[in-house]
Amino acid sequence: MTEPYAILQADLSFQEEIKKSRFITYLAHVEGKQQALDYLQSIKNLHKEARHHCWAYIAASPKNSVKMGCSDDGEPKGTAGKPMLSILQGTDLGEIVAVVVRYSGGIKLGTGGLVRAYSNGIQQLVVQMQTIEKRFYQQYQLHCDYAQMALIESLLASKSGRIVQVEYLQSVNALIEVDLQFAEQFIEQLKSLTQGKVFAKKIPLKAS
C-alpha cells in the first residue's frame, strides 16, 4: 500500500472508573506489528498488577487488513479486542495501537458492559486526536550537468519531490525523492525536458 494515509501525531491516554474497575486507555503511533507488540509490552510493564491488558492495532495502511490484530486478554470473547479494533478502523488512521488496561473491582459488568467499557476510552480519545498525513516517496540517483539543475529542481518541486543529497564534481550527482503518486509522471517529464540526456536510476523501495 503506497497511497497516503493519516497517522496519529501525538500519543494519548484516558482513565475512568466503572463499577469499581479502573480502565486506562492508551493510543499510540507505531510503525509495523513489532512496534505495536513492543508498545503493548511497555504498557504491561507499566501496569504489572492489572488483571487485563486488552489491545488492538492497525500496523500499516488502514486498508491493509492483513496488518491488523486484537486480543481480549482473558475477557469474554468479543468483548474487548474486536470492539476496540472496530473503532480504530472507523478512524481511517494507519499505524495505530490501542491498549486498554483494567484493574478489576470485583463487580461483573456483563458482556454489554464490557464492550462499552473497552470502547468508551478509545471513543473519548478519538475526538481529541491530531493527525498528520503519511506519504510515500520513490528515490532516484541521477547525474546531470550544472546547467540542468535548475530545470530538475523546478520539476521536483512540481511533483512534491526534493534533493536528498548532492555532490558537485565535474558533473552533478544527486539523490532525489519524488512523491510515489507522481513518480511515473516525473520520469516521463524528465526524459522529455532533457531530451533523454538525464537518466534517473530507481532505488528499490524498502520492504515494510
Give the integer Cα–Cα distance in Å for 168 and 144.
Answer: 10
In a domain, 197, yes or no: yes
Give the integer Cα–Cα distance in Å for 65 and 83.
Answer: 15
pLDDT tens digits, 115-166 = 999 999 999 999 999 999 998 999 999 999 898 988 999 999 888 889 999 9
Q: What is the arrangement of strands in the sheet containing 200-203, beginning at the earlier edge strand?
A: 162-168, 172-179, 137-144, 200-203
User: Does one domain contain both 122 and 28?
Assistant: yes
Amino acid at 17: E
Q: Is pLDDT at 1 greater than 90 in this prediction?
A: no
Residue span of the structural domain in which 19 resides: 5-133
In a domain, 72, yes or no: yes
Residue 194 maps to which CATH number?
A: 3.30.70.240
User: Does one domain contain both 78 and 17?
Assistant: yes
Q: Which residue has the cell 526534493?
A: 162
Q: Is 160 exposed, middle or buried (0-12, 13-18, 19+ CB in 10 A)?
A: middle
pLDDT tens digits, 77-88 = 999 999 999 999
pLDDT at 206: 64
pLDDT tens digits, 52-78 = 999 999 999 999 999 999 999 999 999
pLDDT at 208: 46
pLDDT at 204: 82
Residue 84 maps to which CATH number?
A: 3.30.230.30
Q: Is pLDDT at 19 greater than 70 in this prediction?
A: yes
Give the integer Cα–Cα distance in Å for 111 and 106.
Answer: 15
End position of a domain, from candidates 111, 133, 155: 133
In a domain, 208, yes or no: no
Q: Pick the closest to residue 57 from 93, 14, 24 (CA basis).
A: 93
